[in-house]
């Protein structure tokens, strides 16, 4: 196992110096799932909840979260993100899948931005629908794809 890059020789956390790394095109895709009652999914997809358009709010929350990742995760670098896409889709009658795709031309990857986008989008979905279903469960948050940079491509097993 390789040494953790955010830990120095003395065991102290630090921000990795990426100044000498080459600027490359990078992409990361993450997903998360929200499980709920079938009626809740129907209300969300139909736009029938009292707080308004859940899908639009979830999408915007994910985009904003990706842009604010370095404010939330202590050792993340602020990145000049070039694209954030958040897709929301039903899975069966009781789940909603949120996928976040983040791109950057930079010296470090955007995995944390994609994961943060999916996570905050899921939390926003919960917030928008909790009045009708407090038992919703957020789960399965993971990195699906990472491309670019020195370590190359990573793709999760299906």
Q: Which of 8, 48, 53, 127 is catalytic?
A: 127
H/E run at residue 84 = strand 81-91
| Sheet containing 95-106, strands listed edge to edge, beginning at the edge strand earlier in sequence | 81-91, 95-106, 24-35, 137-147, 154-155
98: its two tokens: 């949120």
Cα angle 14-16-142, degrees, rounded to a multiple of 5: 95
Using an 8 Å Cβ cutoff, are 156 and 142 in contact? yes
Residue with tokens 């999408």: 59
The answer for residues whose C-beta is within 8 angstroms of residue 60's C-beta and 6 or more apart is: none
- Catalytic, 133? Answer no
How far is 30 from 138, CA to CA, in rounded Å?
14
Catalytic residues: 127
């Amino acid at each position: 196992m390789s040494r953790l890059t955010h830990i120095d020789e003395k065991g102290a956390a630090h921000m990795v110096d990426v100044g000498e790394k080459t600027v490359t095109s990078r992409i990361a895709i993450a997903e998360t799932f929200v499980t709920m009652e079938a009626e809740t999914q129907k209300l969300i997809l139909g736009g029938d909840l009292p707080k308004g358009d859940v899908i639009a709010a979830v999408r915007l929350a994910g985009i904003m979260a990706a842009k604010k990742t370095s404010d939330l995760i202590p050792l993340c670098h602020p990145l000049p993100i070039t694209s954030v896409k958040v897709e929301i889709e039903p899975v069966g009658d009781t789940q909603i899948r949120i996928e976040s795709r983040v791109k950057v031309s930079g010296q470090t990857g955007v995995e944390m931005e994609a994961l943060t986008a999916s996570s905050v989008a899921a939390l926003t979905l919960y917030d928008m629908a909790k009045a009708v279903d407090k038992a919703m469960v957020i789960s399965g948050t993971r990195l699906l794809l990472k491309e670019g940079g020195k370590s190359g491509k990573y793709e999760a097993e299906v």
